[in-house]
């Protein structure tokens, strides 16, 4: 319907203005990108491949391997070249290393014994997507990806604590930790489209 309306508008405008239609004017409305906003007020419109490639340039290769190539970091805080947040007990928010969109709250972090940071819930369900992962034969899993960037975060399992019974087993490489006291300043610098406080 939108496409029909756009073509009608172009046709009517060209008659009224005496302008001949060209393939370029006919296609000008076909690349409309509608912004998607999450329940908590963040722009989660999917990034283009060009935007994503530019973001990867600012990250170390070992982190890019995990989030782009669906790698898995070593468990526990071994020599990954970064803090995987497994032992982090500070109060704050874990945001996407690519988009800076909040993903997990330290209040939902728990000790899973796996060596990776684990969470029982997510800040906003719109910020992630759960997709089937059949990369290991006879071991179906559910992959967690970030909605906006599409990067690999980790996996979710149904063996977590109550009330959710979920265990979001997340690669620390995909996260950046922001202390709660620093959150307002961080959000004002990194998420200008945020509409409400966390």
Task: Give the other-Cβ count within 10 Å of 161's Cβ.
Answer: 15
Q: Distance between CA atoms of 127 and 111, rounded to whole angstroms?
A: 23
In a domain, 41, yes or no: no
Query: What is the separation, in whole angstroms, between the first and last Cα of the chain?
Result: 38
Q: Which domain holds residue 6?
A: 1-32
In a domain, 195, yes or no: no
Q: What is the pLDDT of residues 90-131, one digit of tens each?
A: 999 999 999 999 999 999 999 999 999 999 999 999 999 999
List, as one string, the DSSP characters of 140-155. Answer: -EEEEEETTT--EEEE
Count the domains in the chain.
Answer: 2
Indicate if 2 and 58 belong to the same structural domain.
Answer: no
Look up the CATH number of the domain holding residue 71: 2.170.150.20
**Which among 101, 151, 153, 169 is annotated as catalytic?**
169
169 is catalytic: yes
In a domain, 40, yes or no: no
Q: What is the pLDDT of residues 151-186, one digit of tens each?
A: 999 999 999 999 999 999 999 999 999 999 998 888
Indicate if 74 and 168 belong to the same structural domain.
Answer: yes
Which token pair is 6? 């756009």
Indicate if 62 and 116 belong to the same structural domain.
Answer: yes
Burial of 175 (0-12, 13-18, 19+ CB in 10 A): buried
């Amino acid at each position: 319907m939108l496409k029909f309306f756009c073509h009608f508008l172009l046709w009517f405008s060209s008659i009224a203005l005496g302008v001949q239609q060209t393939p370029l004017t006919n296609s000008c409305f076909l690349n409309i990108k509608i912004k998607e906003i999450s329940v908590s007020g963040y722009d989660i419109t999917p990034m283009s491949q060009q935007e994503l490639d530019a973001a990867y340039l600012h990250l170390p290769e070992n982190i890019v391997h995990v989030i782009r190539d669906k790698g898995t970091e070593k468990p526990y805080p071994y020599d990954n070249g970064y803090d995987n947040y497994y032992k982090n007990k500070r109060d704050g928010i874990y945001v996407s290393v690519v988009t800076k969109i909040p993903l997990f709250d330290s209040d939902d972090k728990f000790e899973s014994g796996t060596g990776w940071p684990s969470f029982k819930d997510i800040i906003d369900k719109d910020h992630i997507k759960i997709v089937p992962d059949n990369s290991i034969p006879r071991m179906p899993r559910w992959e967690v990806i970030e909605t906006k960037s599409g990067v690999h975060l980790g996996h979710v399992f149904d063996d977590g604590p109550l009330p959710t019974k979920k265990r979001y087993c997340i690669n620390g490489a995909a996260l950046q930790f922001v202390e709660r006291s620093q959150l307002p300043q961080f959000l004002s610098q990194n998420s200008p489209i945020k509409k409400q406080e966390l």
